[in-house]
Amino acid sequence: MKKSMNIFRILTILTLCLLVFLIFNSSFVLANEQTSTTETATEVTETAFPPDTILASFGGQTITLGEFNQTWGQVPEEYKLQLDKSMVLDQMISEKLLIQEAKNKGLEEDKEVLEQIAKITEQILVQILIEREILDKVNVGDEEVVKYYEENKNDFVEKEQIHLLNILVETEDEAQNLLEQLKAGGDFSEIAKEKSTGPSAAQGGDLGYIAKGTIISEIGDVVFALELGEVSDVIKTEFGFHILKVLDKKPEIIKPVEEVKEDIIENLLPLKQREAFDNLLEELKSKVTIEINEEALK
């Protein structure tokens, strides 16, 4: 492990500590919010300060209102309700003081620091190059979407579905008895609530829509052959004895291209971006002569 810690890592740790502090002091923040709300209710005209207004000064340094607003604007809206502006300002002051202390100690000229800065600079350069030459330029056109859709229609098949109610009991005798009650006009949902031992009992045995091929074969082979509103005979599975009723049926369909367009783009775009990246590398390599010392590489 290196003896000195990267300054960016230090700042990250400080930021995390601040977030932890804010989480455990939410009551303080909420109290401030309530005060702010009360103050807002009073009709007070706020003064609009220009961006170059000095918000804080310390040790020969300053933080302007514009600088603060830029930082505050980068905070996600959901976190602003939990943050106090004075705490964010305090963090900005702390960071400036740490940076100044690092400069005072000559770390700007430190060899290790300069090496790390150079590496980060190179990484940023590559990142921006890829963003501008590949990510910003490569896209998937409508013609490509339609072509992919036509060539892969089987991937967009939505299988037949049925809406099922289920009663599950432990013994065949009890199941047969309940089936007789249903045939005599008993309400399926009420009987399921009262007698079923399955997890769907509280919902009247409602299993929702089940796609063909996603339910155990002992049940699937039977229920997908039933008519709408029909009740099955008693079906035995490893879980017990079932009685099922078909509430609704949805036939197998192929989803329209408009519905799956975004999914297709999500599939194609990374492939096109990768291809563009590979082409860029090949182009760059073709412009130079690459000599490799195979002996030294071994």
Residue 273 contacts residue 134 (beta carbons within 8 Å): yes
Mean pLDDT, range 32-61, rounded to an integer: 66
Residue 30, pLDDT > 70, answer no
Mean pLDDT, range 137-159, rounded to an integer: 95
Q: What is the pLDDT of residues 165-187, one digit of tens each?
A: 999 999 999 999 999 999 999 99
Residue 289, pLDDT > 70, answer yes
- Higher per-residue confidence, 7 vs 149: 149
Burial class (CB in 10 A: 0-12, 13-18, 19+), 184: exposed
* SS3 readout for the chain: CCCCCCHHHHHHHHHHHHHHHHHHCHHHHHHHHHHHHHHHHCCCCCCCCCCCCEEEEECCEEEEHHHHHHHHHCCCHHHHCCCCHHHHHHHHHHHHHHHHHHHHCCHHHCHHHHHHHHHHHHHHHHHHHHHHHHHCCCCCCHHHHHHHHHHCHHHHEECCEEEEEEEEECCHHHHHHHHHHHHCCCCHHHHHHHHCCCCCHHHCCEEEEEECCCCCHHHHHHHCCCCCCCECCCEEECCEEEEEEEEEEECCEECCHHHHHHHHHHHHHHHHHHHHHHHHHHHHHHCCCCCCCHHHHC
Q: Sign of torsion, CA 222 225 228 233? A: negative
Q: Within 10 Å of residue 244's Cβ, how many Cβ atoms?
A: 25
Token pair 């300069």 in the structure block, residue: 114
Burial class (CB in 10 A: 0-12, 13-18, 19+), 196: buried
Residue 87, pLDDT > 50, answer yes
The fraction of the chain above a pLDDT of 90, given in percent, is: 80
Average pLDDT, the chain: 86
What pLDDT does 81 receive?
85
Residue 68, pLDDT > 60, answer yes
- Residues whose CB falls within 8 Å of the CB of residue 98, separated by 6 or more in sequence, listed in order: 7, 10, 11, 14
**Strand bridging mode 157-158 / 61-64:** unpaired
23 pLDDT band, cuts 50/70/90, is very low
Q: Sign of torsion, CA 186 189 194 199? A: positive
Rounded Cα gap, residues 179 and 196, in angstroms: 12
**All domains of the chain in start order, with CATH:** 7-105 (no CATH), 160-251 (3.10.50.40)
Token pair 């400069």 in the structure block, residue: 103
- Higher per-residue confidence, 21 vs 52: 52
Q: Within 10 Å of residue 47's Cβ, how many Cβ atoms?
A: 6
281: left (phi over 0), alpha (psi -120 to 50) or beta: alpha
What pLDDT does 4 receive?
40
Mean pLDDT, range 193-198, rounded to an integer: 94
Rounded Cα gap, residues 175 and 242, in angstroms: 7
Q: How far lies 246's CA from each of 168, 175, 229, in Å?
A: 15, 17, 5
Residue 6, pLDDT > 90, answer no
What pLDDT does 47 receive?
66
Rounded Cα gap, residues 165 and 209, in angstroms: 10
